[in-house]
Amino acid sequence: LLTENYHLNVQHDDLKEMLDSNKDSLKLEAMKRIVAMIARGKNASDLFPAVVKNVACKNIEVKKLVYVYLVRYAEEQQDLALLSISTFQRGLKDPNQLIRASALRVLSSIRVTIIVPIMMLAIKEAASDMSPYVRKTAAHAIPKLYSLDPEQKDQLIEVIEKLLADKTTLVAGSVVMAFEEVCPERIDLIHKNYRKLCNLLIDVEEWGQVVIINMLTRYARTQFLNPNINESLLEEGGGGEKTFYGSDEDEDEDEEEKEKKVEVAALAKRKPYVMDPDHRLLLRNTKPLLQSRNAAVVMAVAQLYFHLAPKAEVGVIAKALVRLLRSHSEVQFVVLQNVATMTIKRRGMFEPYLKSFYIRSTDPTQIKVLKLEVLTNLANETNISTILREFQTYIKSMDKDFVAATIQAIGRCATNISEVRDTCLNGLVQLLSNRDELVVAESVVVIKKLLQMQPEKHSDIIKHMAKLTDNIQVPMARASILWLIGEYCEHVPKIAPDVLRKMAKSFTNEEDIVKLQIINLSAKLYLTNSKQTKLLTQYVLNLAKYDQNYDIRDRARFIRQLIVPTEKSGALSKYAKKLFLALKPAPVLESPFKDRDHFQLGSLSHLLNAKAGGYQELPDWPEAAPDPSVRNVEVKESVRAVGTAPVTFVLFSSEQSSEEEERKHDRKIKQHKSDSESESDEEESESESSQSESEDSESEAEDKKKKKVNHFSSPRPLQTIAPSSALKSYELLHRITGEGLQVEYCFSRQPFSPDANMVAVQMQFTNNATSDTKNLHMEDVKLQSGMRVKEFPEIETSTAVMGIDFCDSTQAANFQLCTHTKKFFVSIQPPVGELMRPIFLTENEFKKEQGQLMGMNEITEKLTLDAKCRNEHTIVQRVTSAANLSRVPCGSDKECRFAGRTVTSGSLVLVTVATKEEGAAQLTVNCEKMVIGTMLVKDILLALTQ
């Protein structure tokens, strides 16, 4: 130990020297070693002062590793961590998103109340950060701050509300987790974001999917009606069983219950259930996740369907859950726990997969027991013979706990299915001759429960078990045999006194549980056969009177006063026979999972069958459906681009060439709900004239702002673009579908003068109508925002340019074209390369920007160029045809560089194609938006390899 500590101290000294060095390479190597030590579980806390000094290091790689170290030890070394608060605050302004996120993560890991205001300010700023990764980190920091200072809850709810409106999939799961930790009762925050979360669910990372699905399960239970409500009403009205202790007085109540049944049935028929569209949206969007590779996601969807889906649709989860049984034993254990609960109420959906629950010899004991539970729940008249054959095989196992569980399972099958009760009982009696005491003991306990159902038919079995008292030594089994003989002593009048004689001899050596049953046996025999057992009973009671266990002494005194009449006997003596020999109802062998479904499936509380800390109860279904309009949002779901802001449109006609017309339309029209389609032209003209001055001034301010950001010159008037052979045309509306109207479009790749943040789409309208309908006018070509365009003249062809704000997403923009008599629903889906505009960069500027977009922002792919595509001219032509980028000067003839920015957000996009020998090449894309970078790589690869 001393030697090990010595080497550790030497190693730490070397690391401190490396951290004090002026060379970034040595610092980087030291940090890598330290992080490796932490990963192996070694303590590196004494290096904290040396590491903290490097928090201001300019090398990005070193800084990231320093932040990783500080997250681990900031809570332990709070005083030293507080000294570097200012450095973390500077890190929150760093151009690199990873540094900003790491700084916020370290700041939220310092558990000191004095910096709560700083943390709150940092979280609010990070929630508005342009990088979704930083916003995700802000969502993770919210629960940390809440646990440190719960008084900040109101401010944190405001941040959560803001982040819930975020359209990116990276943030969705994290903010829902923060919502569940901080304010799960604020279900009103989910209303406006419900449909968005449902649509984003398929693209969210796996652990975010689990959190969102569990939250939406609870939300749906409060907002939608029970889809099985008619069946539930009928069960309540007609499925009730009579109580065990019935009386003649209940006959009047039975008539009232019959009337209730009729009323409930009539009510069910009168009001058929209609599923809410939002309820259907949730079920439809979660169903594909049953094929997820993550077992937790599959389990989350399964519990959602079990708790929310109509009975006819729940069966789809069975196949997915059975698939999980091929996974690790830990996963199997959780899945089988939930399947065992499901099979009690939804037995039918797992019956086709009966063989999947057969037990393998390699299964652990806990898995075997759970599979037995499922098989027992699935047993019915048709498959019981197959299941019993399986059970016969399991009894031969060397695992004694498993054998005991199998015997209990046979007893439950015999209880539930009367047709096989005798068969099971005979099989268990055969097990009484088994050499293993545990098998015999468990069989005795189960037989005892089965005999209580029909004791008069099985007196031979009771006699056979009485003979086993000499051989069976397990206390529970001996006690069960004695209870049976005492309870049904009238069926074995000759054997019972002899058994008592033997037990009286060994009374002092028996276990306590056996002694109590010997006392009970003697009391029952005294009451039914006092001539033969009177002396034996007195002898047993005298022995028990001086026993060391006070329970046995008290039982003996009580029974003596009760059954032996004396002058001091109380009033209960005459009721002794009724007390001891009363008929007892047969025990009901039930599954331990019977009432466990009141816990949400898949939760820790369900697994433990006890409420765990932090568990939120699954709400009951509402009696009346809440108002569904609370989930309505301003923009139609069909127009939303998933993960982006609403799409914005501006449309120009080629005939609008005058300055007055350009000024009139030179502004941004936002997409809203299409409730204004019926407005008159006069109302629109009045509203436009009243707002023209204010909106024109706003658009000028925006244009000036964008000139600084995007390095573009001021907008110039847009002119009609002639179709070029280099620009690919797409069909928007076929002449047959459009009843004579044909529309084609292409991406013109020219700046859209009204708004530089929009993509210019040139549209060509062709009137192919017959002579009868030659007067077709495009007077109402409009979008769902309600905007109209100047009437087109009666000519065969007309051209217009439309600006669409795709919000840097390839999601289709849906709108409608309207003529006098017809509405045509159309959509334009842009290739990712058309969402960019070219910019000019020098070689040095390109390298500098590329150096800041490394790590997560860089995607590299190797490819082999076609023989026709191995010269510089062809490479440039193909890349620029796939993406609207400009060429960057390069000193090397083996590299082609291109640069551009996304149209809406101005995010930088850098592309490098490096050629090597024999057509080998490497494509590198650096982009602030990782999704766009990934899609762009695919398109350029396709263009270069065709």
Indicate if 797 and 845 belong to the same structural domain.
no
Q: Is 890 helix (H, G, I), strand (E, B) or coil?
A: coil
| Position 342 in a domain | no
Residues 928, 857 contacting (CB under 8 angstroms): yes
Between CA 755 and CA 911 the distance in angstroms is: 26
Of 786, 808, 830, which closes a domain? 830
Between CA 788 and CA 680 the distance in angstroms is: 10
| Position 313 in a domain | no
Total count of domains within the chain: 5
Q: How far is CA 539 from the centre of its chain?
A: 67
pLDDT value of residue 260: 56
Between CA 653 and CA 802 the distance in angstroms is: 8
| Position 283 in a domain | no
Neighbouring-strand partners of residue 826? 815
pLDDT value of residue 266: 53
Of 545, 567, 582, which closes a domain? 582
Between CA 203 and CA 874 the distance in angstroms is: 36
Indicate if 442 and 464 belong to the same structural domain.
no
Indicate if 70 and 175 belong to the same structural domain.
yes
Q: How far is CA 718 from the centre of its chain?
A: 49
In this structure, how many other beta carbons lie within 10 angstroms of the beta carbon of residue 116? Answer: 14
The alpha carbons of the chain give a radius of gyration, in whole angstroms, of: 40
| Position 132 in a domain | yes
From the first residue on, what is the mean pLDDT of each consecutive set of 10 residues in the chain (946 residues)?
Answer: 55 76 83 86 80 78 83 77 78 84 85 86 90 93 92 92 91 93 91 91 92 93 85 48 41 53 52 81 92 93 92 90 91 92 87 90 90 90 88 85 88 83 81 75 80 71 78 81 82 83 88 90 85 85 88 88 71 75 72 78 86 84 86 53 39 39 38 36 38 40 36 33 57 83 88 83 80 40 36 61 85 80 84 91 89 83 83 88 90 87 90 87 88 87 86
| Position 284 in a domain | no
Indicate if 895 and 752 belong to the same structural domain.
no
Name the residue with tokens 């995607």: 859
Q: Which helix (H) or strand (E) holds 713?
A: none
Indicate if 199 and 53 belong to the same structural domain.
yes
Domain span including residue 531 = 459-582
**CATH number of the domain that residue 886 is part of:** 3.30.310.10
**Tokens representing 211?**
């959190």
Indicate if 31 and 148 belong to the same structural domain.
yes
Could you tell me the CA-to-CA distances from 542 to 501, 503, 530, 614 in Å, in that order? 14, 14, 17, 56
Of 815, 830, 845, which closes a domain? 830
Indicate if 197 and 163 belong to the same structural domain.
yes
Indicate if 450 and 542 belong to the same structural domain.
no
For the whole prediction, is pTM greater than 0.75? no
Between CA 513 and CA 435 the distance in angstroms is: 24
**CATH number of the domain that residue 82 is part of:** 1.25.10.10
| Position 687 in a domain | no
Indicate if 36 and 102 belong to the same structural domain.
yes
Where residue 413 falls (left for φ over 0; alpha for ψ -120 to 50; beta otherwise) is alpha
pLDDT value of residue 282: 93
Smallest CA-to-CA distance from 918 within 860, 862, 861, 865 is with 865
Task: Let me know if 100 is exposed, middle or buried by CB neighbors in 10 A (0-12, 13-18, 19+).
Answer: buried
Between CA 504 and CA 539 the distance in angstroms is: 8
Between CA 409 and CA 369 the distance in angstroms is: 9
Between CA 686 and CA 679 the distance in angstroms is: 12
